[in-house]
Structure 1
Amino acid sequence: MSVLEEVLLVSKDPLAYQKNGVYVLPDEFEAPLDVDQGDAILLYQLTENMELEGQQFAYLKDCFQRVQQQKRVAKKSQQQVSQTLLEIERLVLGYGLVLFQIEEFSPGEENFLSYTTQIVNQVDQYIDFISQLIQRAMQEESVLEFTESFLISLKLYIDSLKLFNLNDSHIVSAVLTLFELLVSFKSVAAIFTKVSGFFADYDVKPNQYEKVTLLGPILTLSPLNASVALQNYGDNLERSRQQTNVIHESLQTEHKMILDRLFYIIDKIVRGSDESRSDLLTYFAQIINKNHLRRGDHANANKLASNAFVTNIALLLVRFSQPFLDVSFKKIDKIDVNYFNNLNLYLDLSNETRMNSDFKEADEFYDQNKKSEENKPNFISDCFFLTLAYLHYGIGGAILYEEKVTPQVRRMREEVTRIKRAAQSQDMFARFASMQLPALEKSLQTMQSIKHSLQGFFSNKNLQLEIFDFVSGASTFLIRVIDPNHNFPFKNIALPLIPDQVGVENVDNADYLRRNAPIPFKYYPEFVIEGLINYTQHISKFAMSPLFGNPRLHSFIELATVVLRCPELVSNPHLKGKLVQVLSLGAMPMRENTPGFMMDVFEHNDLVNGHLLYALLDFYVIVEKTGSSSQFYDKFNSRYSISVLLEELYKISDYRRKIIWQSQNNADFFVRFVARMLNDLTFLLDEGLSSLTEVHNIQLELEKRSRGVAPTREENDEELQSKLASSERQAKSSCGLAEKSITLFNIFSTDIPAAFCTPEIVDRLAGMLDYNLASLVGPKCRELKVNNPEKYSFDAKSLLKSLCTVFTNLSEQPEFICAVARDGRSFSRAMFDRAVHILGTKTGLASDDFCTRLLQFARDAEDQKVAEEEEDLEMGDAPDEYLDPLMFTIMKDPVILPASRVTIDRSTIKSHLLSDSTDPFNRMPLKLEDVIPNDDLRHEIEAFKRKAAHNRTSQQ
């Protein structure tokens, strides 16, 4: 056989086919067959030989491989043979290109699909051939045509599959190999984004990008794919944690390999050309711009991009950001601080909430400060801000999804259990419900699988370390934006940025803060910081959290400190609330005698150590008003977190000194903080103990009914159970929050008792302590007895000890003794005797010294009460105008309120303004510095008191 016949597997001999599987050519081809007929032979084989129907591309690949074998065999001396092989190779490659470019050669999608199926199934055998085809296309300047045909046929193949995901690793690997092969040629990578189908049509729905675009299917390869989750986690609803972790690890390993390969592909496109880089960023931006609802509370996940798709893109962008956010920060100045002033941004900011400005103000700023068309942002800036968007809407959307799916799974489990239990009865409704059981169990299986896959994703420490590296770098960059000179981290940032408003609460200072917020940070979209906060808050809950022991953790804590210390930076109190939650998690001891994982940064980082304490005290006050309908309850969660932080920080001597300094040198500021603590503790104890009383009453009623006793309440059993559940929730919440507040009172009143005895606070504090002491040891204390009190974070003896500790801490303060004595509603020396009996004799919770001090305090207060009652008798004929209109006591320092013109004691209005910045008589805005001293009245009152005292002395 000639070289041509051996390579093309053709012959004129009719017997050749029977012998060697050779294709017999028709009469128009004359023997002997030589290279001059090669073109015609190949044309015949590809268009007329019916035996090759659907196999044409495989035939050319085989011919190419035989050429390579012959080349290796042929010696250099066989010049003629080598020339023949080169010509045959040229023809084979030429027709290889033609097959994928000229429809007449491969009519219909079926042939394209057939070719691609063969390529995918035997990808290793096709690599060299396709590589040579690309090189030939480069020579002929037809790279775009070949790439387009090849990729479209590959997409057709993927679309023809029922599923394309990690469950079929062979097909996935082959498809990725083909993408990798194509982009390994820079000329292909450069035009990759010009292929039809790279972009989606403008009106395509958010959930369709991953299906209709060329890169969509491969960018969705993730354990978060619902089918992958169901196949790996769904076979056993009762799997052990250890078994689940084994599956996690397996999928995490596979996901890492996929991401490495995807990054190779995307990186090649980025480096292909300026156009391919810009197109790729446009593609990613289009996806995230259409998926802002992924962070919406009522978003329909089925109508949005999948978690698998957007988290993969987010992870790839994070990798691109690594080189310019490394610990050296050598390239951090390449990120444009004024990025949002650029024209034609990839990101759509039209509906984005800003840090501390409204839409109109932000738009005006950008209009006045737009950069020129020539001054385009660099890739580093584009990539960085796009990554921030994906962190918030992509990974942040997955976080929100997990937070929603967890209670869904719990409810579905309860429903399955309920139906199974009911099915055992003969009730007709129960039998009907049991018919729905298979569908419900299937839904539960799916939802639980998705939940496990999300947990596997967020517990993948290596992956999360990459994300948190980005978070750390982004935190440092945002401080750089906030820094007026934009020199951070190479120079320290000076805080506060604007002077603290002495005597003015920032909670009522929103306009001033907005006017003085730093530019351009105030105009930044809120998501750039919200994504960092949401991610860090979520990931800190995992045992494999990347925050633990991370040397870059300080960057995020520095940003948190700056944001909390400068109230003008971020107007959204919910973001600050999440920040303090994260910091409190980092402060909590991890184990006994093991400090929280952030405590080292709190103590030794200069920026944090210098400013965190003031920031926490200030936010404790500011969070009084969050602007939402639930603001009254929102504040308790934030204050609980701050209380945890303050309790742990107080263990550090430097912070303890700072707190004492604030109480002594910044009294107005600290008093506001103590007033808020007092307000909260008063409400929480009242709410908690009232709810426990209701729990006690309902439990008693239900227990009596179970014994056949006639009902004493109007509600039926079902209504009572509902009320019981509600009261239990309220009791648990209020008692848990109150416990942390009373702990702070104990700690601070030990070292700084004077701060709790100012005229604005001391009477309310005394009244609150007396009232709750009476609740715990008085006649009604039995109403607090409930089943399983620990379920409600309630320990009556511990709470009693805490309240009495505050009494003893303040027992040597004359102002406090007088305030307790003045409390005509609840003070009783007998209550203190009862408390000492419980704490000292019955439980042994208090030492003899403690009990002695408490009893002595009660005697001192009793003596003071007797003395004041005698004085009140003498003052009983005081004119009404001498009496405070709210407290009905004789005023010491009367002042006139400017709007209502009412005269009131200065201490009373100061106390009122600690909680409410309005005139109590007409609700007009009021500041303490606006009140007008009523000196004439004060002199009258003083004269009246002197006369009364003189009369008393004369009578004695």
Structure 2
Amino acid sequence: MTVQSLIEKVLQVTLNSQDVPSGFYYYPNLENPSTVGLTIDDIDSIILFQLTENMDLLDPLNYINDSFRRCSSEKKFISKSSNPSNESIPVLNEIERLLIGYGLVSFQIESFCLKGNYLNYIETILNNLDSFSDLLLNIIKRSIEENSSFELINNFFNTLLTYSMKINLNLNDNKNYNAILSVFEMFLNFKQISSIFSQIENYLPDLDSNNPLIKNPCDYEKNIILGPILSLSPLDTNVAFKNFQNEIDFTQDPQLDPSMKQKIKLINESLQTEHKVIIDRLFYILDKIFRGSNKTRSDTISLLSIIVNKNHLRRGENANPKKLSSNAFMTNITILLIKFSQPFLDVSFKKIDKIDVNYFNNINLLIDLSNETRMNSDYNEANEFYETKNVSTEPNFISNCFFLTLTYLHYGLGGTLLTNDKLSSQIKSIKEEVKRLKNLNVTNGQNSQNFLNSFTDLQIKNMEKSLFLLQSINQSLIGFFTNKSLQLEIFDFISGASTFLIRVIDPNHDFPFNSIKLPLIPDQIGFENVDNADYLRKNAPIPFKYYPEFIVEGILNYNLFITKFNNNPLFNNPRLNSFIELMTILLRCPELISNPHLKVKIVQILSYGSMPLMDNSPGFMMEIFENNEIVNKNILYALLDFYVIVEKTGSSSQFYDKFNARYSISIILEQLYYHIPIYKTQLKDQAKNNSNFFIRFVARMLNDLTFLLDEGLSNLTEVHNITQEILNRSKGNPPSREENDDELKSKLNSASRQAKSSCGLAAKSIILFKMYTKDIPNAFVSAEIVDRLASMLDYNLASLVGPKCNDLKVKDPQSYSFNAKQLLYSLVTIYLNLSKEDEFVKAVARDGRSYNKSLFDRAIHILHVKTGLASDEYCNKLINFVNKVEIQKVNEEEEDQDYNDAPDEFLDPLMYTIMKDPVILPTSHVSIDLSTIKAHLLSDSTDPFNREPLTLDQVTPNVELKNQILAYKKKKREEKLMKRE
């Protein structure tokens, strides 16, 4: 083949204007009009003419690529030829060189080609990437050789950004997103490109220039170079809607329709597989950038910091999600950062010392802490500490990556958790409204109100569309959180982070290579400092006390959420030890975190892990509770402490908050006590050796049970009464209450909710009372609590078997966690557990309000005769107990008669009984019995007569008054003896 014919074939040109073959272009040989023909010297002119002058050439980039491919094909053909032409190789090399060069120029100067257009170039490349890949690779290499890479990547990737936004890039567009990721991978595979990549426009937002493209956090994923690819996720709203709405009939309940459930499962599995591939490819891209240069690493960390700093409202209750970065974007970044953190948080912890425990002291800190609550210090104290301890050394990548990941765990993935919670209530609300409107249409149809029906139909249609969208998003979230392999990666990070946080808490920062000694500050005998906020804050460890609260909160929110799913990543996970160790330490040392709501989350998580499994085998955390040394030496004391402290949560709902917290604690205590012997021993030791504290613990249990039983039984009575009223009205009987029908239904719903909650919580408290009164009965008969305990038991016994017990009858009592017979059996069992304690017998006898022997007779009849729950032996023990009470009651009455003329100053001002050990209160100067003020201070640390702060060590014995009372009693006894003689 001649040189001319080779050039014509490769470049698709001809010198014959009269006979132009299909697909060829006429080239007027202006530079060499002689008959010599085309030579190697004409190649440049031909290509330049084609690109800059030929009006018939519609797509210059395609022309360059097609010519390049033909050139490559010819070179391959010649290389395989047995007799290659010596003239052909130089010609083809020159064509290749010039095509690559002009291809590069095309991306450096948009107007270079006659019809040059960057956006068209990008679209052309992405639609035919396999075809363009060789040319593109050679263009990249040429740019590196000529030191002109920046112009190439700046124009290329900013145009790619424009194109991505134009097509709204997402997982639905498989071809485009695969091509775009491949282009990123292709470019960044060159160190010379990755080392300068962060310097291109729109990579790192210039915060000082008030970038008009970034007004809200949501604009980052639309207007920064990495934004569109970092948003590729099944959590994208458009992706969720397309995948689920077109396949699933959401008018049915997916949980009740097996075929729909299977469809959803298959869709989620497909999306999970696709998402894994994307995450791996995104990791490859970011890894190349991080390794490109110190500059690209620093800029990228800064970029990710800016994004999360601007998205704090993702954890806000009333934030506008349209102005914030999406779940898809923020969750992907979280996962990627977790992957980058894995190497220094593996089980060997060889690199854990590379994470700076004093990271937040750094003057170059990228994470915004300006409005963050601290672990156990106020804002000013933390700032003063940082100002005096600031260091200016740039944080290392490992520290930046680790703490940034924890920040994203809270604000990135943590915001996604909130979305899931909000969706459930929104879906429920819309379903109820659709149902209401459909019922309204049925009613209106009878009156032929066509206009109103049409309007209602339109409302229903719009609401059902919204419902489909919300349910699609909800299913995509479920698919994400049931992706076991992905959740295991997240929990692996949490486990490693837990170990690091223990290392921070450890005064020597030696953990895990040396054990941590607990408690950090000595336990207080009694309870004076167990909830003394100032004392605890003063003794909180540095620097942990100054850490932002979200460092722990993000971990807790995730684990509390994920435990709701079957087969969650905590289950049978060998790294679960680290997490439970951290939870134990946070509970055991009350000086570590001041926010009680965080501790509530801890006990909720631990309660999930302690509950028996479906096959009645022990909870999945129980083995760790038994065998982990840090845990088994500290968790019981930690739980008892928090049971007492949680009385005050600082919120307006603190009175009710404590019940939920104590419910979770009760679940754990029950399982530990019944299944792991060491904990029963520890509890007995605590009751014996720290009696003041344990009495306070028992008092809290008693307060709760008293309230919950009263609340539960009262609301059950209300449910019974309202139900009867509604039934009577349905029969045409006149109303016996003032409320109308709608008000009655509203009150019934409210009473039902409260009854269900209170009865459920009370049932768990009853279990603790049964356990502990059996093994440590003496802890329940101290003077401070025994009368209140007896009174509570007598009152509820009267409610269950007394004249008004029929008012507790409701339809389906199990739905309220109410079993009257079982509750009666539990109450009576508590009586029997304490029946050998003389102080308890006396306390029951003293209860003049509720105690009545006939109630016990009725209880025996129900438990033995009607239900068979109680054996003969059981009933005989109860009869013996009641006989002892009756004898004591007679003695008490005789004593009261003996002392009926006692002076008023001898009587306790609250209980109106003769004082045994009178003490003087420091501010009101009132004399009161020591047992009475002790009982009062168990739940209220003020003087009951003037509300001034009061602690037990402030009272002083009233020795003079005590002697007068003793003398009075002695005199009365002597008078009684004389009368008998």
Range into which the TM-score falls when normalised by the shorter chain: over 0.9
- Alignment partner of 1:634 is 2:657: yes
Aligned to 1:529: 552
Aligned to 1:93: 100
Aligned to 1:60: 64
Per-residue CA distance 1:638-679 (angstroms, 9 max, x = gap): 000000000000021011111111111111111111000000
- Residue 341 of structure 2, aligned match among 316, 321, 333: 321
Aligned to 1:568: 591
Which stretch shifts more, 319-328 or 82-91?
82-91
Per-residue CA distance 1:503-529 (angstroms, 9 max, x = gap): 334464001111111000000000000
Per-residue CA distance 1:194-226 (angstroms, 9 max, x = gap): 111112353521111111111111100000000
Amino acid at match of 1:113: L
For residues 164 and 526 of structure 1, the distance between their equivalents in structure 2, rounded to whole angstroms, comes to 36
Which stretch shifts more, 191-200 or 455-464?
191-200
- Alignment partner of 1:43 is 2:54: no
1:106 to 1:676, Cα distance in 2 relative to 1, 3 A: farther
Aligned to 2:292: 272
* 2:530–2:641 contact (8 Å) kept in structure 1: no
What are the equivalent positions in structure 2 for 1:385-396 lying under 5 Å apart?
A: 385-396=403-414
* 2:409–2:554 contact (8 Å) kept in structure 1: yes
- Residue 671 of structure 2, aligned match among 624, 630, 648: 648
Amino acid at match of 2:69: Q
TM-score (norm 2): 0.95
SS state at 1:377 partner? coil
- Residue 326 of structure 2, aligned match among 284, 306, 309: 306
Amino acid at match of 1:292: H
For residues 262 and 286 of structure 1, the distance between their equivalents in structure 2, rounded to whole angstroms, comes to 19
Amino acid at match of 1:700: Q
For residues 20 and 334 of structure 2, the distance between their equivalents in structure 1, rounded to whole angstroms, comes to 56
Aligned to 1:223: 234
Aligned to 1:182: 187
* 1:506–1:567 contact (8 Å) kept in structure 2: no
For residues 784 and 751 of structure 1, the distance between their equivalents in structure 2, rounded to whole angstroms, comes to 32
* 2:759–2:818 contact (8 Å) kept in structure 1: yes
- Residue 371 of structure 2, aligned match among 336, 340, 351: 351
- Residue 22 of structure 1, aligned match among 21, 24, 29: 24
* 1:61–1:126 contact (8 Å) kept in structure 2: yes
For residues 656 and 454 of structure 2, the distance between their equivalents in structure 1, rounded to whole angstroms, comes to 43
TM-superposed CA distance for 1:803, in Å, is 0.6
SS state at 1:596 partner? coil
For residues 107 and 579 of structure 1, the distance between their equivalents in structure 2, rounded to whole angstroms, comes to 67
Aligned to 1:753: 777
TM-superposed CA distance for 1:71, in Å, is 2.1
SS state at 1:895 partner? strand
* 1:222–1:312 contact (8 Å) kept in structure 2: yes
Per-residue CA distance 1:698-737 (angstroms, 9 max, x = gap): 1111100000000111110001111111111111111110
Aligned to 1:724: 748
- Residue 109 of structure 2, aligned match among 99, 102, 110: 102
Per-residue CA distance 1:598-633 (angstroms, 9 max, x = gap): 000000000000000000000000000000000000
Per-residue CA distance 1:85-112 (angstroms, 9 max, x = gap): 222211111100110111321478x721
- Count of residues paired in the alignment: 950
Aligned to 1:83: 90
Aligned to 2:203: 198
* 2:51–2:114 contact (8 Å) kept in structure 1: no
1:112 to 1:446, Cα distance in 2 relative to 1, 3 A: same
For residues 546 and 828 of structure 1, the distance between their equivalents in structure 2, rounded to whole angstroms, comes to 54
1:106 to 1:744, Cα distance in 2 relative to 1, 3 A: farther
* 2:863–2:870 contact (8 Å) kept in structure 1: yes
- Alignment partner of 1:672 is 2:696: yes
For residues 575 and 107 of structure 1, the distance between their equivalents in structure 2, rounded to whole angstroms, comes to 65
Per-residue CA distance 1:137-178 (angstroms, 9 max, x = gap): 0011001110111112212221221x3111111111111111
- Identical-residue share of aligned pairs (%): 58
Aligned to 2:507: 484
Aligned to 1:297: 317
- Alignment partner of 1:416 is 2:421: no
For residues 11 and 458 of structure 2, the distance between their equivalents in structure 1, rounded to whole angstroms, comes to 65
Amino acid at match of 2:429: R
- Residue 356 of structure 2, aligned match among 317, 331, 336: 336
SS state at 2:928 partner? strand
TM-superposed CA distance for 1:28, in Å, is 1.2
- Residue 265 of structure 2, aligned match among 235, 241, 245: 245
Aligned to 1:234: 245
* 1:16–1:22 contact (8 Å) kept in structure 2: no
Aligned to 1:114: 120
TM-superposed CA distance for 1:501, in Å, is 2.6
Per-residue CA distance 1:773-806 (angstroms, 9 max, x = gap): 0011001111111122112111111111111110
For residues 85 and 623 of structure 2, the distance between their equivalents in structure 1, rounded to whole angstroms, comes to 77
TM-superposed CA distance for 1:356, in Å, is 0.5
What are the equivalent positions in structure 2 for 1:761-780 lying under 5 Å apart?
A: 761-780=785-804
SS state at 1:336 partner? coil
* 1:507–1:624 contact (8 Å) kept in structure 2: no
For residues 158 and 218 of structure 2, the distance between their equivalents in structure 1, rounded to whole angstroms, comes to 21
What are the equivalent positions in structure 2 for 1:522-921 lying under 5 Å apart?
A: 522-651=545-674, 652-921=676-945
* 2:784–2:931 contact (8 Å) kept in structure 1: yes
Amino acid at match of 2:421: E
* 1:507–1:625 contact (8 Å) kept in structure 2: no
Task: Give me the CA root mean square deviation.
Answer: 1.4
For residues 467 and 975 of structure 2, the distance between their equivalents in structure 1, rounded to whole angstroms, comes to 84
- Residue 208 of structure 1, aligned match among 209, 216, 219: 219
TM-superposed CA distance for 1:408, in Å, is 1.1
TM-superposed CA distance for 1:419, in Å, is 2.1
Amino acid at match of 1:174: A
For residues 200 and 437 of structure 1, the distance between their equivalents in structure 2, rounded to whole angstroms, comes to 44
- Alignment partner of 1:125 is 2:131: yes
For residues 432 and 112 of structure 1, the distance between their equivalents in structure 2, rounded to whole angstroms, comes to 49
Aligned to 1:167: 172
SS state at 1:708 partner? coil
TM-score (norm 1): 0.98
- Alignment partner of 1:10 is 2:13: yes
1:43 to 1:757, Cα distance in 2 relative to 1, 3 A: same
For residues 180 and 769 of structure 1, the distance between their equivalents in structure 2, rounded to whole angstroms, comes to 73
TM-superposed CA distance for 1:854, in Å, is 1.2
List runs of 5+ in structure 2 lacking aligned partners.
Answer: 255-259
For residues 312 and 197 of structure 1, the distance between their equivalents in structure 2, rounded to whole angstroms, comes to 20
Aligned to 1:933: 957
For residues 481 and 798 of structure 2, the distance between their equivalents in structure 1, rounded to whole angstroms, comes to 49
For residues 8 and 949 of structure 2, the distance between their equivalents in structure 1, rounded to whole angstroms, comes to 100
Amino acid at match of 1:954: M
TM-superposed CA distance for 1:413, in Å, is 1.7
TM-superposed CA distance for 1:430, in Å, is 5.4
Amino acid at match of 1:267: D
* 2:334–2:408 contact (8 Å) kept in structure 1: yes
* 1:416–1:441 contact (8 Å) kept in structure 2: yes
Aligned to 2:257: none
- Alignment partner of 1:288 is 2:308: yes
TM-superposed CA distance for 1:879, in Å, is 1.2
SS state at 1:104 partner? coil
SS state at 2:284 partner? helix
* 1:200–1:212 contact (8 Å) kept in structure 2: no
For residues 59 and 953 of structure 1, the distance between their equivalents in structure 2, rounded to whole angstroms, comes to 127
Aligned to 2:38: 33
1:271 to 1:107, Cα distance in 2 relative to 1, 3 A: farther
- Residue 457 of structure 1, aligned match among 469, 476, 480: 480
Amino acid at match of 1:879: P
Which stretch shifts more, 901-910 or 636-645?
901-910
Amino acid at match of 2:525: V
SS state at 2:56 partner? helix
